[in-house]
């Protein structure tokens, strides 16, 4: 098996959904809402993908200005390919695309909270989230 990586290779919503559905991230993403998934793929600023031949096996999808901040919104590797360093490589390639002063931010899935410190990420207790069912008061 030889894994290859692509930066900003166009992928379909179906390919993205396939990776998510075969990883632990699928339960946290609206994979049954095709319009949302298409928008997520279309409007990402930076996408790095991992391929086993012509089969997509991993995705790093980010929103960024390439100068100050990059939000790595989705990092998913199909379960059958986990433990091979693919996730780490996707993050490395994502980071390489950013400007020297651009910081990489992400929100960890609960099961992955021990993974990111091993790669050098530092926990930030100052992040805030406004859930979709809440309004600014």
CATH of the domain at 41: 3.40.630.30
Domain count for the chain, please give it.
Answer: 1
Q: Is the pTM above the cut of 0.85?
A: yes
Question: What domain range includes position 32?
Answer: 3-119
What pLDDT score was predicted for residue 38?
97
What pLDDT score was predicted for residue 101?
94
Does the structure show a pLDDT above 80 at 60?
A: yes
Instruction: Answer yes or no: is 124 within a domain.
Output: no
Q: In this prediction, what percent of the chain has a pLDDT beyond 90?
A: 81
Instruction: Answer yes or no: is 56 within a domain.
Output: yes
Q: Residue 56's pLDDT band (boundaries 50, 70, 90)?
A: very high
Strand order in the sheet with 69-77: 3-7, 46-52, 55-64, 69-77, 103-105
| Cα 74 to chain centroid, rounded | 2
């Amino acid at each position: 098996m030889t894994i290859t990586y692509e930066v900003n290779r166009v992928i379909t919503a179906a390919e993205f959904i396939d990776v998510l559905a075969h990883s632990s991230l699928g339960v946290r993403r609206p994979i049954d809402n095709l319009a949302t998934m298409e928008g997520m793929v279309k409007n990402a600023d930076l996408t790095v993908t991992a391929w086993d031949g012509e089969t997509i096996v991993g995705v790093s999808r980010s929103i960024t200005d390439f100068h100050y901040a990059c939000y790595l919104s989705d990092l998913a590797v199909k379960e059958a390919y986990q433990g091979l360093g693919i996730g780490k490589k996707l993050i490395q390639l994502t980071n390489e695309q950013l400007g020297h002063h651009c910081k990489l931010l992400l929100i960890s899935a609960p099961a992955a909270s021990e993974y990111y410190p091993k790669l050098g990420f530092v926990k930030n207790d100052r992040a805030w989230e406004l859930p979709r069912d809440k309004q600014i008061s």
